[in-house]
Amino acid sequence: MRPVRALLFVLALVVAPLSARAEMTLLMAEEAGCMWCARWNAEVAPEYPLTAEGRAAPLLRHDIDTALPEGITLRSRLRFTPTFVLLRDGVEVDRLEGYPGEDFFWGLLGAMLDRAGKAPQTGG
């Protein structure tokens, strides 16, 4: 029985870091003429890649009227713009439909990342 436990222990040491390195992405579904998309672009987009959230889940833009990029799996169809979909290795783990304004956006995105086990690391 000891060899089995030792093997399980070694597997846990190997698998745990791999799951911790899962790639998170924030898919933004948008469309031309969307005033809320334009507002997000003005208020959040310039600073997003510079933030802890942007580093934890880099942005991937998607035109809602086109096919999804290959390798992305969503729980349900995209219906509204903007819609922000948090992806782990291309699979949806959480979603925010609409843009509630800059102040609420950051808090809601932070909660999404927390639920996904990917709380943003601040600093350095």
pLDDT at residue 120, rounded to an integer: 75
Tell me: the pLDDT tens digits for 21-40? Answer: 589 999 999 999 999 999 99
Residue 122: predicted pLDDT: 64
According to the model, what pLDDT value does residue 22 have? 80
Which stretches in the chain have pLDDT values below 70? 1-21, 121-124
Structural domains of the chain sorted by starting position, each given as residue range(s) with its CATH number in brackets:
22-115 (3.40.30.10)
- Distance, CA of 113 to chain centre: 7
Provide the whole-model pTM: 0.80
